[in-house]
Each structure stands twice: as C-alpha cells, then as structure tokens.
C-alpha cells in the first residue's frame, strides 16, 4: 500500500490540489466585487503553481508574463504570430532545459505550462480575430462607421456567435486570465471572452453550480478505482520484458487494450475534476438557448444573452458545455475514430482548430499543421508522433468502409458492422496509445517489434481492399 502511495505521490498531491480547487469554488463565487474576484483567482493560481512546481514555478510565471508583454508590445495585427512563436519557443526551452544546464521540471509543472501556452496564445488569436472581424464590419458598414466608433459598429453586426466587439484587454486583465486558478492545473481551455463574461454577466449566480458539480464528480471514484486496478494488473513496463516477449502473439497484441484502458481512466478522472473546478466556481455557465460549444461558448444569440436582465437570468436553463472536455460514454462507444477524436479532450481540439487549422494560410497543409502543433504541444517524444500522426492514415481506410457499408445500413446489419468498426477503432487507438505511453523510440521499437508491427500491415491491407471495393461499387453504380 505504502509503495503504491509513494509511486503515485506526485499524482496524489496533484489530485488533492484539484479537489481543493473544487471545494473552494463556492467561496470564490461569493466574493463581492469583480476586482476582488480577479485578484483572488490570480493569487490562488500563483500559489497553486508554487506548491506544484517549487523553484520550477519560474517557468510558467515567466513565460506568461513575457507572453502577455509580447501581446501588448506587438500591434494587434501581428500579436498572435509573435506570441505563438514565443510561447512555443519557450515550451521548447522548458522541455529541453537540461540541455541548457537547468534541471527538468516535473510532469505536473509541464501540464501547467501547457495550459499557460493555450491561454496566452489563444487570447492573442482572439484579439487578432476580433480586430479582423471589426475591420470587415467597418468595410461593410461604411455609413454606420462614420457616425460611431468601430466597437459600436461591431455590436450591430448580427453574426453574434463569434466577434461582436473588439477584444483588447489591458495588461492586468491578461495576467488575471493567464493565472486564474480555474482550469490552471489541467484545463479545460476556455476563451478570454468566457473568462470576461464570468465576471460581468449574471449566469454564474443563477446556474445550479452545486448540482452540476456533484453530477460531474460522481463518476470520479469509479475512474480512479479502474485506473488503479488496470495499471496494477497490467503495468506499462511489462511490455519491455523478456517474459512479455515469450507470451503468445494474441496476448502481446491485446495487452495495449488494458494499457489504454488504464490511461483513459486516468484522463477521465483528471478531466472530470478539472471540469468540476469550473462548475464549482460557476465559470462556463451559459443559457442553453445559446447552443453552447466546448471552448467557444454560445454559438447563437450572444448579443441577446449579454443584454439579459437579472430577472430573465433567474428563469433561464443553463449548462456547462463550454467547459466540457470529455464525453466519456461517447469515447467508449462511438463507432469511428473520427467520432472518437471529436469527443476526446474537446477543449484542446477546439483550440487547435481555431488557432491552427482555421488560420493556417496553406489549405493543403492545414491538417498537417494542426497535427504538428498538437504533437509539439504534447511534447517532443517520438511516441507522440507515432500516435497522433497515424490517425489520418487510419481515417483514410475507415472513411471508405463507413460510406460503403455502415452509413446506409439498417437494423441488425448496421449493429454487426458497427461492432466490427468499433472493435477496429478501439484496437487502433490501443496500438497507437502504446507508443504514446512508451514515449521514446527505443522503447516503442521493443514493443512494436515484439508484435511485428502488424497493425501497419493490417491497415495497409484494409486500405487497398477498401479502394478496390470502392471502385467496384462506383462501377456497379454507374452500370
């Protein structure tokens, strides 16, 4: 028992701090003034960073300060580019600090630094995006702009799910956003607009924060218990042993299923606790009528929501989808890898889509740019490349079979094909996850060579057959 506690000491401390962040939420929510709330959240965030990181706290603190300074010193036209390269440059230095004569930080500090990168880069792109939107509004509404300033013109634009006004927070508000304790330890990512709405709109006061938190937390003990059971039953290091290599091929092939199951439970527990920090404090509460999306917030009627009175807010139904990272049941049950990717770590996927995919200027390279940034954000280990970069290749084959056999199927046929596709999707994820967990090339090679790299061969055969079947289908259809 004590050896298990010692082995997971850092995780236990991190878990305790997450629980503390959940418990303090109701008290934080009751702080009277906006300034008190902002400074309270920032000071608490800095304290958490120091507790988790010790001397290594200098990294997230310094990178955030310099990143915010870069935002304010660069013009709004270029602040997003400057900030992006600085923050990822610092992340590169942070991860390779031992090469420069400094000590490496803990994995928990790495998680905080990753969130800081998302926030600082994200707000820079948000500011630039609002500036572009306002410039477009100005161009389209010349007569209106002559009589009012650009911010007022933006408010009258009816595309109110994106940018209605110029987003240009001052230095101190950027610091508050960067260091707010809510979501700092392990996410979820949320926009500066969501952060600002928290203080100035009445939704957090009217939403059922306590009920939502209890509902979110109720599954955490199960996730933690399953994680401990799976990781004890099938430890990761076992795949590197001679005993494992002497097992049957079927055993070696299926071993990653348990490894990935343990990993998923750990992620579910962490992400669910992180969501609970938000719901407990009330951040991310928006009326259901806004058709809220993870990371983004309301997608329709945002201008009307901003004008909602206290009385109207009291009779409104709310949700916390804006800060929802995982759809656990969907992660376990969806048929395709494409759908699985949509419900896994949704807030970070939103960030990658908005910051990289939609803004990358070369259309044919958008997907590769998004994948590359996702990889280097996770880390520089070979395992991240093996895991993340294989997804598009699997999707090539999956999309063919989905359209040919599953999409139009009905009844029992659809269930059988769905189960087969679910099994293949789950198996592919488990195979890829082995690389993600083993991290280094030499360790990955040991495991993959023990199973003869079989899944790459299986995928290639599936793809070739899929292309042939698709061509035959097109020929039959044309006849």
Whether 378 is catalytic: yes
> What is the gyration radius of the CA atoms in the chain, in angstroms?
24
Residue located via tokens 């709405």: 197
Determine the Cα–Cα distance for residues 169 and 200; give it in Å rounded to an integer.
14
Q: Which of 128, 292, 345, 381 is catalytic?
A: 345
Least Cα distance to 194 among 209, 177, 181, 208 occurs for 177
Pairing mode of beta strands 286-287, 318-319 = antiparallel
What's the DSSP call for residue 297? B
DSSP 410-430: -HHHHHHHHHHHHHHHHHHHH
Per-residue b or e along 412-421, where b marks 16 or more CB atoms closer than 10 Å to that residue's CB: eeeeebbeeb
Q: Which of 244, 378, 427, 473 is catalytic?
A: 378
Which pairs with CB-CB distance under 8 Å and at least 24 residues apart come from 195-201? 195/283, 196/169, 197/286, 197/297, 197/306, 198/282, 198/283, 198/284, 199/34, 199/37, 199/38, 200/34, 201/305, 201/306, 201/308
Which H or E run includes 286?
strand 286-287
Whether 473 is catalytic: no
What's the DSSP call for residue 353? I
Catalytic residues: 345, 378
């Amino acid at each position: 028992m004590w050896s298990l506690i010692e082995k997971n000491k850092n995780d236990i401390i991190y878990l305790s701090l997450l629980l503390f962040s959940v418990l303090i939420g109701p008290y934080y929510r009751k702080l009277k003034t906006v300034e008190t709330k902002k400074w309270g959240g920032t000071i608490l965030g800095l304290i958490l960073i120091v507790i988790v990181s010790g001397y290594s706290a200098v990294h997230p603190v310094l990178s955030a300060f310099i990143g915010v300074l870069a935002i304010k010193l660069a013009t709004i036209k270029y602040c997003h580019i400057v900030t992006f390269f600085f923050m990822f440059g610092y992340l590169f230095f942070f991860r390779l600090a031992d090469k420069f004569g400094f000590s490496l930080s803990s994995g928990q500090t790495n998680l905080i630094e990753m969130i800081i990168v998302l926030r600082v880069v994200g707000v820079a792109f948000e500011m630039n995006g609002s500036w572009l939107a306002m410039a477009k509004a100005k161009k389209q509404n010349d007569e209106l702009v002559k009589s009012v300033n650009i911010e007022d013109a933006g408010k009258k634009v009816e595309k109110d799910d994106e940018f209605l006004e110029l987003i240009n927070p001052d230095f101190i508000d950027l610091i508050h956003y960067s260091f707010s304790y809510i979501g700092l330890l392990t996410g979820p990512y949320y926009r500066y607009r969501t952060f600002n709405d928290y203080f100035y709109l009445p939704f957090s006061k009217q939403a059922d924060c306590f009920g939502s938190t209890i509902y979110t937390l109720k599954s955490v003990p199960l996730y933690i218990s399953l994680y401990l059971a799976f990781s004890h039953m099938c430890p990761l290091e076992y795949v590197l042993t001679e005993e494992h290599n002497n097992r049957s091929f079927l055993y070696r092939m299926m071993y990653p299923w348990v490894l990935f199951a343990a990993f998923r439970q750990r992620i579910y527990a962490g992400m669910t606790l992180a969501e609970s920090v938000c719901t407990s404090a009330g951040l991310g509460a928006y009326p259901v009528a806004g058709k809220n999306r993870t990371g983004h917030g309301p997608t329709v009627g945002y201008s009307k929501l901003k004008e909602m009175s206290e009385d109207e807010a009291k009779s409104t139904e709310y949700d916390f989808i804006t800060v929802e990272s995982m759809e656990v049941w969907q992660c376990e049950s969806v048929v395709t890898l494409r759908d699985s990717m949509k419900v896994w770590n949704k807030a970070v996927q939103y960030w990658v889509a908005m910051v990289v995919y939609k803004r990358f200027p070369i259309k044919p390279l958008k997907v590769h740019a998004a994948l590359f940034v996702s990889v280097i954000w996770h880390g520089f280990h070979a395992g991240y490349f093996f895991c993340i970069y294989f997804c598009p290749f699997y999707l090539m084959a999956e999309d063919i079979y989905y359209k040919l056999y599953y999409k139009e199927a009905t009844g029992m046929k659809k269930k059988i094909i769905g189960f087969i596709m679910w099994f293949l999707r789950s198996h592919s994820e488990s195979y890829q996850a082995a690389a993600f967990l083993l991290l280094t090339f030499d360790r990955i090679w040991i495991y993959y060579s023990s199973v003869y790299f079989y899944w790459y061969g299986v995928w290639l055969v599936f793809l070739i057959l899929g292309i042939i079947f698709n061509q035959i289908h097109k020929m039959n259809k044309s006849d």
